[in-house]
Amino acid sequence: MFGSQLFNTFKFPKKKKRNTKVIFEDLENNLLSDTSDWKMEDFRLLETLGTGTFGRVLLTCHKDTLQYFAMKVLKKPKVIQLKQVQHVLDERKVQGIIKCPFTVQLHKTFQDRNKLYMILDYACGGELFTWLRKNKRFSEKTAKFFACEILLAIEYMHSKNVIFRDLKPENVLIDETGHVKLADFGFAKVVKDKTWTMCGTPEYLAPEVILGTGHDKAVDYWAFGVLLYEMLAGYPPFYGRESQMEIYTKIVSGKYAFPSFISKTAKDLIKKLLAKNKMKRLGNLKDGVADIKAHKFFDGVNWEKVVKKKTVSPININLDCAGSSKYFLRYKESLGIPEVPPSKEENELFKDF
């Protein structure tokens, strides 16, 4: 993917037994081409990659460079109606901060009277969710590969005081080499202490989010534990057949069971990540993310190779052509129902986008 060269300089500690901490430095240099002169008309719209409440994501091609990108299109009236203006502005702010090879990179933003546009990396391998459903569940080796890259993305975001808050298989994309790119920063936020907004996906919410006691970076480690469980089991540890309240009750009680085929080592890591008390949650202790990397589940991982994407992905991406969308679902192309444009005052809400 076009953001794959973004890791510029890393300094690694001298190798010690299971001391796997990676120190990120000099990640601010964006090695991508200058996009200051890009205009909306420079892009050819090809097809829909996904749809959502506020709009859709389109596959686009830059007419001059012939590079493929994903264009996220948000409808201003819908954003205003659902009181999501601040979330959208937070998303724009966070994407401007994040420069990591394991996250989707923002290249350019545009807006007109009715819509907001974000030009993002195109991860042509589709969603991790699709691959997980296709395989039913992942082997421990495969799950570990993805867990390593996702953990580095979380570590990097937290170093910038960014909480992701919506980690799930649908928001983990796969690039053309089979590596991870976290996407959809709609709930991401710069937080130096605590925040109280309840947001995220029900099955992945941490207990403190549901209880409204205030949450911080620890919620991402909880979600990381849920994701690791789902990759290994094929389903999340907390789910309900009747209602979201059933899911919330299970999460707050901390009751879940492991299938017998999950290893003791994986179970131990997941249990420590799914600690109800965030003060006892792995990743949120004195040594932070280093405690997770030092767990036996990650024994044998060469974190320097992981950072540099020198590990071989268990997923083989076979593309028909550079702009192939074969790993995405097909959507009906529609212009949608015309909406009343925002007023001049309402458009002022997006002046910093």
Domains by residue range for the chain, with CATH: 9-124+322-344 (3.30.200.20), 128-307 (1.10.510.10)
Tokens of 160: 């910038």
Q: How far apart are CA 1 and CA 175, in angstroms?
A: 6
Q: Which of 200, 197, 211, 193 is nearest to 164 (CA)?
A: 200
Q: Decide the pairing of beta strands 43-51 and 55-62.
A: antiparallel
**Catalytic annotation present for 291:** no
HEC string of the chain equals: CCCCCCCCEEECCCCCCCCCCCEEECCCCCCCCCCCCCCHHHEEEEEEEEECCCEEEEEEEECCCCCEEEEEEEEHHHHHHCCCHHHHHHHHHHHHHCCCCCECCEEEEEECCCEEEEEEECCCCCEHHHHHHHHCCCCHHHHHHHHHHHHHHHHHHHHCCEECCCCCHHHEEECCCCCEEECCCCCCEECCCCECCCCCCHHHCCHHHHHCCCECCHHHHHHHHHHHHHHHHCCCCCCCCCCHHHHHHHHHHCCCCCCCCCCHHHHHHHHHHCCCCHHHCCCCCCCCHHHHHCCHHHCCCCHHHHHCCCCCCCCCCCCCCCCCCCCCCCCCCCCCCCCCCCCHHHHHHHCCC
Supply the pLDDT for residue 249.
Answer: 96
- Which residues, 6+ apart, have CB-to-CB distance to 330 below 8 Å? none
Q: Return per-residue pLDDT of the chain as tens, 353 residues.
A: 433 333 343 444 444 444 334 445 544 454 456 888 999 999 999 999 999 888 899 999 999 999 999 999 999 999 999 999 999 999 999 999 999 999 999 999 999 999 999 999 999 999 999 999 999 999 999 999 999 999 999 999 999 999 999 999 999 999 999 999 999 999 999 999 999 999 999 999 999 999 999 999 999 999 999 999 999 999 999 998 889 999 999 999 999 999 999 999 999 999 999 999 999 999 999 999 999 999 999 999 999 999 989 999 999 999 989 899 999 998 888 766 667 889 999 999 999 99
Alpha-carbon dihedral sign for residues 343, 344, 350, 353? positive
Q: How far apart are CA 6 and CA 103, in angstroms?
A: 10
- Which residues, 6+ apart, have CB-to-CB distance to 236 below 8 Å? 203, 204, 226, 229, 230
Residue-wise pLDDT tens digits, 247-270: 999 999 999 999 999 999 999 999
Q: How far apart are CA 324 and CA 318, in angstroms?
A: 9
HEC string of 274-297 equals: CCCCHHHCCCCCCCCHHHHHCCHH
Supply the pLDDT for residue 25.
Answer: 53
The CA-based dihedral angle spanning residues 211, 214, 218, 219, taken in that order and rounded to the nearest 10 degrees: 50
Supply the pLDDT for residue 336.
Answer: 63
What one-letter code names the amino acid at 1? Answer: M
Supply the pLDDT for residue 339.
Answer: 75
Which listed residue (166, 175, 216, 220) is catalytic?
166
Tokens of 240: 């309900």
Query: What are the φ/ψ torsions at residue 106 (nearest 5 degrees)?
Result: -85, 130
